[in-house]
């Protein structure tokens, strides 16, 4: 079948009609590119549209989604990827109609056999090495076709067909035995390890597949002498060329690593060829470069052209790819998913001399995780902090007892590296991004979709770093994904996308303007005492004015000035020390001044605005203004002026009083709170009091105290409080609120209205 297809592909007078199943994948999209550029009529289908399918459509691919029987109705041959199941509707239709169907590798072999093939094989490093080979030959002035397993910026795409080319450089996949299909002119063997044991039974079986490839290679075998198995297999082959650190045909010496480059001297046996400066990092890439050098030398390419080409090689996507770089942070993404690959990648990361290496690792396949857990446990010690997600299955069925936790336990057995299991990849960037410190290098590792987490962090760091650059030292602190459960008295809530802590009033104003000019939503949050943040967190910026000018409280005569971030408890304490009465009621309220003003908080018959003289606030235009009490309308738990303006500072009026009198009032307030409100974590009163009866009394009369959802419970001390009995989720609290409202409505006909502010997203959206 392969030879038949190969002959048909060569017949330009009668283009073939070919359909590709799973065309969005990197391997299949490469095939589509080759076939389209060869002039054939190509269609393809997949479950989703992607950037690759959009690119291919510009090359005239007829794309459809999802898979369908109609898409293959007029095809001469159907090509399918390893991800396609036997019951795929299009594959079944092709079989029913008698349309031949072949695997991806069989189609590649058919294309390869139309040219002199250079097959780059090995357990690791195939994509980078094949891209290097293609780049070096292309830059030397040769017409070259190529097929590699990832997007290669310097090559323009993962595949390209040049009608004038004599050679096709292709990455050969050994994972399913199809490596034995190829009959190349040149075979490069990078390494051979016990991998893909979900398909093979032993290393010996893998070696046999490589042996078949070598037996079918017509001109030259090139192999890495540093790999024991590759050396044992290849060294006896007639005319084989070896490369390595020493005792090989091509060697590298005087290796020097700098920032972003690695240079070395190349020797051909005893002959010094010259110096190479490689545009990608890592000693393992020196070996990859030697493979390309050996190939180019065998094909007669002048070394000076080879050296110049390698200097301009920029690497492949997801192969130690720089995702983000600033003076404070660096983010790297790498496809490595085998211990050998990860060891080399982390060593390369360490050569950049970061303060810390933070690794986010997504294990790939349950079988590999189970078999190589101890090896992973050893190589991950090279990182300072490791986060491990759950396993990316790659179509494998789960294995009982095997998960990302398997890797964590192995890391803990083999050293002291801090290792954290975070099962859900969709929220892993929140935990990792919040942990990052200046000088850190974050590296995402794995063959699945772990790179998405690094790119989300990178996207948000762009904005955060731009914010920081506009402020001087000490004016502001900012970080990503701060968990709101750390900043609410209920101790629930997802993260804030951007968490900002200004220290001065002007810094606050400039931060608000910065985000609003960029269309980023802004929330101002105090102590979070009357706040319930949903589990999905808060999209946009949360500004937390608590320190610096915002935390200051001063007294002059009968006037007390307090920043919006000062706790009401502190206001009461400062007033007491100054002999100023009228503030004792604040002792019993857990919030801060800003929240008290916004909600016109109160207790013991008093409200915040009963004592306000004036409020300084930031208006919607970013201007700082001051308004007197007479200019501000204040209602029960509602101050309209502060819905869209942000309080910065307030002046309260007190009444001089004796110390003993103030102490008694403070003690009364404290005791009142203790006797009427729960000690457990809460957000204060959940509901506003209806006109006819207090909300707490109403809930008590209906016997709803103690009602629970998850770890959220109606307080036994006060019916209008919901308390967190330990790691409750916001969803637990919200469901309990809904159930209370429904029961009160059904039994008393009263519509309860929440007093607590409810913010944020139900699910993660950033």
What positions carry a catalytic annotation? 126-127, 171
Each as own residue / partner, the long-range contacts of residues 702-711 (CB below 8 Å, 24 or more positions apart, any chain) are 702/743, 702/744, 702/747, 702/748, 704/740, 704/743, 707/736, 707/739, 707/740, 708/736, 709/733, 709/735, 709/736, 709/739, 710/735
Residue 66: asked if its preceding bond is cis (omega within 30°), the reply is yes
**333 near 323, Cβ under 8 Å?**
yes
Residue of 755, 488, 758 lying closest to 638 (CA atoms): 755
**453 near 425, Cβ under 8 Å?**
yes
**467 near 511, Cβ under 8 Å?**
yes
In 291-448, beta strands by DSSP E: 321-325, 329-334, 356-361, 385-388, 418-421, 440-445
CA atoms of 423 and 336, how far apart (whole Å): 19
CA atoms of 172 and 212, how far apart (whole Å): 13
Other CB atoms within a 10 A radius of the CB of residue 750 amount to 17
Q: 78 by DSSP, 3-state: which?
A: strand
Token pair belonging to 639:
């101050």
CA atoms of 125 and 224, how far apart (whole Å): 12
Residue located via tokens 């493979």: 291
Half-sphere exposure of residue 358: CA atoms within 13 angstroms, side-chain side: 22
Token pair belonging to 409:
């336990």
Q: 663 by DSSP, 3-state: which?
A: helix
Half-sphere exposure of residue 163: CA atoms within 13 angstroms, side-chain side: 8
Question: CA of 446: how far to CAs of 35, 345, 392, in Å?
Answer: 30, 11, 9
Max CA separation in the chain (angstroms): 106
Q: 648 by DSSP, 3-state: which?
A: strand
| Dihedral angle computed from the Cα positions of residues 302, 308, 314 and 315, in that order, rounded to the nearest 10 degrees | 30
236-270: buried (b, 16+ CB within 10 Å) or exposed (e) per residue?
ebeebbbbbeeebbbbbeeeebeeeebbbebbbee
């Amino acid at each position: 079948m392969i030879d038949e297809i190969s002959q048909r592909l060569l017949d330009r007078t009668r283009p073939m009609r070919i359909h590709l199943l799973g065309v969005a994948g990197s391997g299949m999209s490469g095939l589509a590119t080759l076939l389209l550029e060869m002039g054939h009529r190509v269609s393809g289908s997949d479950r989703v549209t992607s950037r690759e399918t959009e690119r291919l459509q510009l090359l005239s691919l007829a794309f459809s989604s999802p898979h369908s029987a109609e898409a293959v109705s007029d095809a001469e041959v159907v090509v399918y990827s390893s991800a396609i199941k036997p019951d795929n509707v299009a594959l079944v239709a092709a079989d029913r109609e008698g349309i031949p169907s072949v695997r991806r590798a069989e189609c590649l072999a058919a294309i390869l056999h139309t040219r002199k093939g250079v097959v780059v094989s090995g357990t690791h490093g195939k994509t980078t090495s094949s891209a290097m080979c293609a780049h070096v030959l292309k830059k030397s002035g040769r017409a070259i076709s190529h097929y590699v397993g990832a997007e290669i910026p310097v090559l323009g795409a993962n595949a390209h067909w040049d009608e004038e080319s004599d050679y096709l450089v292709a990455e050969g996949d050994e994972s399913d035995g199809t490596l034995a299909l190829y009959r190349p002119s040149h075979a490069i063997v990078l390494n051979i390890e016990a991998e893909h044991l979900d398909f093979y039974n032993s290393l010996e079986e893998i070696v046999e597949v490589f042996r078949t490839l070598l037996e079918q290679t017509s001109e030259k075998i090139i192999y890495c002498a540093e790999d024991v198995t590759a050396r044992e297999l290849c060294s006896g082959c007639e005319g084989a060329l070896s490369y390595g650190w020493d005792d090989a045909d091509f060697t590298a010496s005087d290796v020097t690593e700098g920032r972003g480059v690695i240079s070395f001297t190349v020797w051909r046996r005893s002959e010094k060829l010259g110096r190479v400066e490689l545009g990608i990092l890592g000693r393992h890439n020196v070996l990859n470069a030697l493979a390309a050098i050996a190939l180019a030398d065998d094909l007669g390419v002048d070394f000076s052209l080879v050296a110049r080409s390698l200097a301009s090689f920029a690497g492949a996507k997801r192969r130690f790819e720089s995702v983000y770089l600033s003076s404070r942070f660096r983010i790297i993404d790498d496809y490595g998913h085998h211990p050998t690959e990860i060891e080399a990648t982390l060593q390369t990361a360490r050569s950049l001399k970061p303060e810390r290496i933070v690794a986010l690792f997504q294990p790939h396949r349950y079988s590999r995780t189970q078999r190589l857990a101890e090896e992973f446990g050893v190589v991950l010690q090279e990182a300072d902090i490791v986060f491990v997600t759950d396993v990316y299955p790659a179509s494998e069925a789960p294995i009982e007892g095997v998960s990302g936790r398997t890797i964590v336990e192995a890391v803990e057995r083999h050293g002291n590296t801090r290792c954290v299991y975070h099962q859900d990849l969709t929220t892993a960037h929140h935990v990792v991004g919040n942990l990052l410190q200046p000088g850190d290098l974050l590296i995402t590792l794995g063959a699945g979709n772990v790179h998405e987490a690094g790119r989300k962090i990178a996207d948000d760091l762009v904005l955060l770093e731009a914010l920081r650059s506009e402020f001087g030292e000490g004016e502001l602190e900012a970080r990503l994904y701060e968990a709101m459960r750390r900043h609410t008295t209920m101790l629930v809530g997802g993260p804030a996308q951007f968490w900002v802590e200004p220290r001065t009033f002007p810094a606050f104003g400039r931060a608000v303007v910065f985000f609003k000019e960029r269309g980023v939503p802004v929330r101002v949050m105090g102590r979070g005492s009357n706040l319930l943040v949903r589990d999905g967190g808060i999209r946009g910026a949360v500004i937390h004015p608590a320190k610096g000018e915002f935390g200051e409280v001063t007294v002059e005569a009968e006037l007390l000035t307090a920043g919006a971030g000062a706790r009401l408890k502190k206001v009461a304490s400062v007033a007491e020390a100054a002999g100023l009465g009228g503030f004792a009621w604040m002792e019993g309220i857990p919030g801060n001044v800003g929240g008290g003003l916004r909600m016109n908080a109160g207790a013991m018959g008093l409200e915040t605005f009963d004592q306000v003289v004036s409020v300084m606030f930031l208006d919607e235009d970013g201007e700082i203004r001051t308004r007197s009490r007479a200019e501000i309308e204040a209602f029960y738990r509602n101050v309209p002026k502060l819905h869209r303006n942000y309080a910065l500072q307030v002046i309260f009026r007190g009444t001089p009083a004796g110390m003993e009198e103030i102490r008694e009032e403070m003690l009364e307030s404290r005791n009142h709170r203790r006797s009427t409100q729960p000690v457990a974590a809460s957000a204060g009163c959940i509901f506003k009091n209806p006109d006819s009866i207090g909300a707490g009394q109403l809930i008590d009369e209906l016997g709803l105290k103690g009602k629970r959802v998850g770890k959220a419970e109606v307080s036994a001390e006060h019916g209008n409080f919901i308390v967190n009995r330990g790691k409750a989720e916001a969803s637990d609290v919200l469901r309990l609120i809904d159930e209370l409202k429904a029961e009160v409505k059904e039994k008393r006909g009263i519509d309860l209205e929440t007093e607590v502010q409810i913010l944020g997203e139900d699910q993660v959206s950033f």
